[in-house]
Structures are given as structure tokens and as C-alpha cells.
Amino acid sequence: MAEIELEGVRKHYQMGETTVEALRGSSMTVDDGEFIAIMGPSGSGKSTLMNMVGALDKPTSGTVEVGGTDVSGLSRSQLAILRRKKVGFVFQQFNLISTMDAVENVALPLIFQGTPSKERKKRAVEYLEKVDLGDRLHHRPSELSGGQRQRVSIARALVNKPDIILADEPTGNVDTETGDKIMELLMDLKEEGKTIVMVTHDPHDAEFADRVVEIRDGVTAPKED
């Protein structure tokens, strides 16, 4: 069953008098529990495509369905609810809050769900332990290595128990050995039944995926061998 489905998606941005076509009729289906990698050159539309899949934006035309819900007709508040329930985000730049320790960073999404404080802390600790950071619970980002910060980011993405994980260049700021560990963690999540969509420029990382979708000039296509 399709967890994500894009059909004929176009996205235009107006920059002054210029119209920028970020997506030009892209289509893509991701099945429940599938791990796909999206590859393409800079400016090809990868980030815009991820914004569509993550319900961060709506298409100019075409349809985007996430978990069976067409995002096109949703209000901003409805999009936010869909993201909280369905999607976990892992970013290349980690996006951790420097004044918060690991537990506080991971617990942050639970505040927006109205989860009580005691339960927030319990779940944050649980997910930090899942990514082997049980001994770094009260360390701030500046006290963690790049790989540890990325694992905090992954724990934060998982704490809401989403069905879909979106990973944007998840190994871009770590060394090769740490990158392989992060990819193995993503593979473990796939084995747990999560649907994973990863943007990467690294062919080595793409080998972990079930399949690769290429995007060029705003149009998607299966990668040819």
C-alpha cells in the first residue's frame, strides 16, 4: 500500500517578476515500509520534493497524498497536525537548540502534542537509549560529537512515533565510519516498519535504500543501472 504518492506535482515560486519552476510535473510512489533515496544535482528540486512529502508546503498543481491524506486542501494548522502525527524529520544541520541538553531537545516535539512533563522526559530518555546515547542524556550539543548530535536528531524525529522518516543528507556532516552507523540505524528503522525517504548526494548511502529516484530539472525518474 502506498504511504506517499505524488502525481503530476508542480511547484512554482514567484521571485519578483520571475517565476521559478522548482517541480515540473513530478510523480513518485513510496510504499508502506519502503526505504527510498532521492538523488539529483544541486538545484534539481530535491528540497522542494521533500517539502511536499513532509507536508511543509503544498503543490501549485498536482496531488500529494501522505498516509492517504491529500495535503492540497489542508489548512496550515491541519498540515502541522499531519506532520506531528505522521512525519519525523532528520536534518543535515541537526537543528538542535544549543541551550538544551539531549533529553530536552528530544522531548521538544512532545510539548506541542500536550504530553505531560514526566512522560516527555521518560520517552526522550527511551529514544536516546535506542540510539545508544544513554550516557549522554544531559550533554548539550556543544558537548557532543557530530555523530552524537545526529543521533540526538534521529531520536527527536522518532519520539512522536511517526510512520514516515524524512532524512535530508543525514550523513553530510559526519565522518565515514559514523555515517555508516547512522545508515545502519536507518536500516533498523526500516526493519521496524518505518517508511524512509532520504535525500543524498552520496552513492554509498544510496546503496542502503530499496531503490533510488533521480530528480533533474524538477522531474523525477527511477534511477537507471
Q: Express as a percent the part of the chain with pLDDT over 70.
A: 98
Total structural domains within the chain: 1
Give mean pLDDT, residues 201-223: 91
Give mean pLDDT, residues 109-131: 92
Comparing 51-60, 170-179, 202-211, which segment has the lowest mean pLDDT? 170-179
> What pTM does this model have?
0.89
pLDDT at 123 over 90: yes
Here the CATH number for the domain that contains residue 90 is: 3.40.50.300
Q: Which domain holds residue 96?
A: 2-222
Locus of grid cell 538542535: 96
Tens-place pLDDT, residues 183-203:
998 999 999 999 999 999 899
